Amino acid sequence: MKLIVQKFGGSSVRDAQRIRNVAEIIADTYKAGNKVLVVLSAQGDTTDDLIEKAQEINPRASKREMDMLLSTGEQISIALCAMALEGMGLPVVSLCAWQVGIHTTAVHSDARITKIEAERIQRELDKNKIVLVAGFQGVDRNGDVTTLGRGGSDTSAVALAAAFRADLCQIFTDVDGVYTTDPRIVPDAKKLPAITYDEMLELASQGAQVLHNRSVELAKKYHVDMEVVSSLERKPGTKVKEVVNMEKTNIAGVAKDTSIARIAVVGLAHNPGVAFRVFDLLGKAHINVDAIIQSIGRESSKDISFTLPRADVEEAVKVLENNKSVLRFDHVTVEDKIAKVSIVGAGMMTTPGVAAKMFEALYDANINIQMINTSEIRVSVLIDEENATAAVRAVHEKFFGGED
């Protein structure tokens, strides 16, 4: 008998009809002879409604009380979904994080799971019950409610799958899998039957928003087989696992990220420790820097460029300017009309010519490359934002064009 963990997001449970649909998926999995452990998010707009209520009363409410408030959303979802399964005559029990014993750090609104107790869930599974667990929430060592931050319910699901050594952790979403690129941009984008953790991580951090990196990292660490699958259509999704037997192509997908900007610090002294000081200051200001390129500029000085989320540009420039006397640079330039296009694939580095093939596609499309940045399984280029869509299409066509 297999144990399947299934996670349904907010839009999958947004109203009574969608909840009944979710209950049917769960029921089918259960009736097929599996043990089923389900993680649910809050219904559609519930979280937003609760945040609005809080804003009206106190826009600077403590994170502890926000967690207390927001955690009711998932509790409502599990109770309603349990009722739907009861209506189908199936044995079911809903459990909040404190009832399971999902222990976390005490960092309200961004807690990390430290331990999951087995006892209660195991007892219910042993009674052949379908177990519904409230996602996104935990309980800290003080007995206070915490929430896990962005991607929290995915993380709850993978953590439970790891704790109970589930055979599969299915993440149900609006999309039916992971594609070779965004199907809204390239209509003949192909759904991947499978992808490795590392490819998924690179795709996600390069702009594909199917799964949160945090949950994929956890899945990789504990060898949890995941599947991204549609809650609306019954068809196979994309498996995310350790090793994937890639056949005809050696890249998994093409991703685009237009939420970034580039900052250049021009005219830094050509001394040791300059780069350290720049990124140490930015790190202390909680600014997440992505690609970094250092080039030697004029005599005895150098320039450092880096990309970062556009939302952080203002703060980053402030940090740099405030420390101009310490860092001793000439000036800072900001370029925010840029985009990053990446190809991701596990076999990339062992297959010669992959990067060259990408650059050729861009050259043929007459798209200028501003910066290049690579990892073991990824090649990213920085280009003008206005060329982003054309670049994705050209690169996708180059790698996937002949297939079907």
Span near its own copies by CB under 8 A; candidates 59-67, 180-188, 328-336, 344-352: 59-67
- Could you identify the residue written with the tokens 């989320």? 309
Lay out the site mask for its own copies across 145-184 (x = CB under 8 A, - = otherwise): x---------------------------------------
Nearer to its own copies, 137 or 196 (CB): 137
- Pairing type for strands 194-196 and 238-241 reads parallel
Span near its own copies by CB under 8 A; candidates 75-83, 158-166, 303-311, 338-346: 75-83
Lay out the site mask for its own copies across 80-119 (x = CB under 8 A, - = otherwise): x-xxx-xx-----xx-x-xx--------------------
Bridge partner list, 292: 306
Nearest-approach distance from CB 44 to its own copies, in angstroms: 12
Under the criterion CB under 8 A, does residue 12 sit at the interface with its own copies?
A: no
User: Is residue 255 a contact partner of residue 203, using CB atoms and an 8 Å limit?
Assistant: yes
Share of the chain residues as helix, strand and coil, in percent rounded to the nearest 5: 40, 25, 35
Choosing from 3, 51, 54, 275, the residue that interacts with its own copies (CB under 8 A) is 54
CB atoms under 10 Å from CB of 110, counted, come to: 15
Span near its own copies by CB under 8 A; candidates 73-81, 204-212, 233-241, 363-371: 73-81
Nearest-approach distance from CB 98 to its own copies, in angstroms: 6
Nearer to its own copies, 43 or 307 (CB): 43
Write b or e for each residue in 68-105: b if 16 or more Cβ atoms lie within 10 A of its Cβ, otherwise e: bbbbbbbbebbebbbebbeeeebebbbbbbbebbbbbe
User: Is residue 199 a contact partner of residue 345, using CB atoms and an 8 Å limit?
Assistant: yes
Residue 158, SS3 per DSSP: helix
Q: Write the CA distances from 106 to 74, 135, 137, 208, integer angstroms.
A: 19, 17, 12, 30
Give the separation between CA 379 and CA 382, rounded to whole angstroms: 10
Nearest-approach distance from CB 58 to its own copies, in angstroms: 4
Nearest-approach distance from CB 115 to its own copies, in angstroms: 17
Nearest-approach distance from CB 7 to its own copies, in angstroms: 19
Under the criterion CB under 8 A, does residue 277 sit at the interface with its own copies?
A: no
Of residues 332-361, which lie at the interface with its own copies (CB under 8 A)?
none
Q: Enter the tokens of residue 219.
A: 């899945």
Under the criterion CB under 8 A, does residue 281 sit at the interface with its own copies?
A: no
Residues with Cβ within 8 Å of 89's Cβ and at least 6 positions away in sequence, in order, are: none
Under the criterion CB under 8 A, does residue 127 sit at the interface with its own copies?
A: no
Give the separation between CA 367 and CA 327, rounded to whole angstroms: 35
Under the criterion CB under 8 A, does residue 51 sit at the interface with its own copies?
A: no
Choosing from 45, 65, 225, 384, the residue that interacts with its own copies (CB under 8 A) is 65
Give the separation between CA 337 and CA 22, rounded to whole angstroms: 41
- The one-letter code for the residue type at 313 is V
User: Is residue 164 a contact partner of residue 118, using CB atoms and an 8 Å limit?
Assistant: yes
Span near its own copies by CB under 8 A; candidates 13-21, 202-210, 336-344, 355-363: 13-21
Q: Which residues bind its own copies (CB under 8 A)?
A: 16, 19-20, 50, 53-54, 56-58, 60-62, 64-66, 68-69, 71-72, 75-76, 78-80, 82-84, 86-87, 93-94, 96, 98-99, 120, 143-145
